[in-house]
Amino acid sequence: MKPLLQKLTETFSPSGYEAAIREVIRAEVQPFADEIRVDALGNLIVRKGKGGKRIMVAAHMDEIGLIATHIDENGFVRFTTIGGVYPNLLLGSRVRFLGGAAGVIHTEPTDKPGDTPSVDKMFIDTGASNRAECPVKIGEVAAFERPFLDLGKRMVAKSMDDRVGCLVAIEALRAIRETPHELYFVFTTQEEVGTRGAETSAYGIDPHLGFSLDVTAWGDTPGRLGKNFEMALGKGPAIKIKDGGMLSDPRIVNWMIDTAEAQGIPYQREVLLGGSTDARSMQLVRAGVPVGCVSIPCRYVHSPSEMVDVEDVQNAIRLVTELLSQPVEI
C-alpha cells in the first residue's frame, strides 16, 4: 500500500492537468475493471459489475497548485493559486512546474516582521537571472514538491488530498471479488476548483446512489484539542453527516454505520464545519442522488505536508469493500 501511495502522491497533477495521475491510476485499475473510459472533462470512469444498482464512488485525482501570471525582467515568476492554497503555508515552499522547472517561493518585504504577505506580494525564484533565462512561461502550472515520508504508523505527503482517497478506491476495487451492483469508481478532475468532474460524470452515469472518498480536517493537535471538531488520526475512517456544502442522506449514513459496526470496523462520525467534497455535486445532478462520504482524517490539509494514519486508510478500504460487496436497500 505505501509504495502505491508514494507513487500517487509524488505525481504532479494540479486541477485541470490530471493527465499524468490518470495514467498512473489507469495502470493500477486495468486488471480489475470490466470497462474503463475517459469522459470529456478527463474523469477516469471504471466500471465493475453489470446490472443491479448503479453506485458511484468518487475520489478526486487533482491537487491544489499555482499558475504563473507574469515573469518580471529579473526572471522572478509571479503567480496565482489553483484551489484552496493558504498564503501562510507558501513561504519557503519548493514547487515544480509541469514542464519540469523547479523553484522556491519567497516574498517582497512586509511592513511588519511576522505579517503574512498576500499571494500578489510573492514570487517563485527559479534561479534565473533575467526574463530570457526563466524556464517558466505564463500559464504554466505548478504543485508543491515534497517527497513521501513514511513515519511508520503515519504517512506524510504533499497531496494526500485526495490521492489517499484514490488509493482507497483502487484497493477496494482490487479487493471486491463479486458485487450485486453496477459499480462506477470515478477518479474525478477539478474537485479543488468546484467539484466539476464529479458533476459531469454523475450526470453521465445517473447513479441510484453514491459516495465520495476524501480527506477531512483534524482536531487532535495542540490548540485544536477539545474545540468544536473531534476528528482524530488513528480512530478509524469518518462517516460524514454534514459538511459546508452537503448534508448526507440519512439512509446512506445508516448503511455505512451499520456495515462498520457489523464488521467491527472502527469509525468516527463527521460533522465538518467548512469545505465539501465531490458528493456535493453528485447529490444535485438530474433528479437528485442519495449520497454520503467516507473520509480519511488528515492533519495539515492543503499544506505541503499532509498526514494520515495507516490504520485509518486500511479500515477505510475494509469499509468500502464491505459496502460494495453486499446488497443494499436505499
pLDDT in tens, 50-108: 989 999 999 999 999 999 999 999 999 999 999 999 999 999 999 999 999 999 999 99
Q: What are the structural domain ranges in the chain? A: 2-63+158-325, 65-144
DSSP β-ladder status, 44-48 and 35-38: antiparallel
> What is the model's pLDDT at position 225?
81
Q: Tens digits of per-residue pLDDT, 127-176? A: 999 999 999 999 999 999 999 999 999 999 999 999 999 999 999 999 99
Cα–Cα distance for residue pair 238/215, rounded to 1 Å: 9
> What is the model's pLDDT at position 113?
76
The yes-or-no answer on residue 28 being catalytic is no
Q: Which of 191, 192, 306, 322 is catalytic?
A: 191
DSSP 157-215: ETTHHHHHHHHHHHHHHHH----SSEEEEEEES--TTTSHHHHHHHHHH--SEEEEEEE
Instruction: Band the pLDDT of 327: cuts 50, 70, 90.
Output: very high
Cα–Cα distance for residue pair 252/230, rounded to 1 Å: 21
Q: Which amino acid is at 265?
A: I
Q: Tens digits of per-residue pLDDT, 217-227? A: 999 999 888 77
Q: Average of pLDDT values for 184-188?
A: 98
> What is the model's pLDDT at position 67?
98
Q: Write down the mean pLDDT value for the chain.
A: 96
Q: Is the pLDDT of residue 24 over 90?
A: yes
Superfamily in which the 65-144 domain is placed by CATH: Peptidase M42, domain 2 (2.40.30.40)
> What is the model's pLDDT at position 287?
94
> What is the model's pLDDT at position 116?
86
> What is the model's pLDDT at position 51?
87
Percentage, residues of the chain above pLDDT 70: 100
Cα–Cα distance for residue pair 276/303, rounded to 1 Å: 17
Q: Average of pLDDT values for 196-220?
A: 96
Relative orientation angle of helices 2-9 and 19-29, to the nearest 10 degrees: 160
> What is the model's pLDDT at position 263?
97
Helix (H, G, I), strand (E, B) or coil at 125: strand
114 CB-side CA count, 13 A: 0
> What is the model's pLDDT at position 267?
98
> What is the model's pLDDT at position 14?
96
> What is the model's pLDDT at position 223?
86
Q: Which fold has domain 2-63+158-325?
A: Aminopeptidase (3.40.630)
Q: Average of pLDDT values for 27-47?
A: 97
User: What separation in angstroms does the CA of 239 have from each of 56, 175, 192, 258, 299?
Assistant: 17, 21, 21, 11, 17
Q: Tens digits of per-residue pLDDT, 98-131? A: 999 999 999 999 888 778 899 999 999 999 999 9
